[in-house]
Amino acid sequence: MGHPLFWVGSCVSRVGRGESWGGFLRRVAVAKRRVLLVDDEVTVLLTMKAVLEISGFDVDTAASAMDAKRKLKLREYQMVITDMRMESDAAGREVIAAARTASYHPAVALLTAYPLADEDWQDMGADKMLVKPMQTMVLLRQIEKLLDTHSAKLARLASAASAGAKKAGSKKAAAQVKRGAKKLPAKKVVVKKPKRRRG
């Protein structure tokens, strides 16, 4: 870990190759989204927290997996970014597992200085791997992209669940109508014969 993760001042002059820092922030910070940042290195926590807050995010921090799991139960987050190795080598895995069981389904990113194979971090349940150190603009763009794709994924799942519920409701209603129809007594149809005229 060692060095600070971001160098804000040195990145400002390079923003988007022509796009101003203020313009970029106005574009990405439409609404405050809550992020839980988990890392046992104070320098990383404070620097990332400052960068994300400047960019319009509401940021909570945790310095251990235990602290992160407690906060995941207390508040709802749109995204969780966690280091892999903290109080133990598996601490990051514990945070990811806790985030995955949260009822509000946050996006989850694994932050590490030791890149893993795609299948390894995906098997843990992470949506994205962020490798440190990373330039501020690159980080923000990756976070925005992950939040967008995760929101779209949740919307698709919600739509599918709603459609499934409506389909199940329609089948249930049809079954009830069918059962009700069986219970109704059949009406006798009486055909009246025309009277013959005497003549």
Domain assignment present for 199: no
In the chain, how many domains are there? Answer: 1
pLDDT (0 to 100) of residue 27: 47
Domain assignment present for 188: no
Mean per-residue pLDDT pooled into runs of 10, the chain (199 residues): 38 46 48 89 93 95 97 96 92 95 94 86 92 88 92 85 74 63 55 59
The domain of 36 spans 8-154
Sign of CA dihedral 83, 88, 94, 95: negative
Peptide bond between residue 194 and the one before it cis (omega within 30 degrees of 0):
no
pLDDT (0 to 100) of residue 153: 85
pLDDT (0 to 100) of residue 15: 44
Domain assignment present for 113: yes
Contacts of 23 (CB under 8 A, 6+ apart): 16
* CATH number where 60 lies: 3.40.50.2300
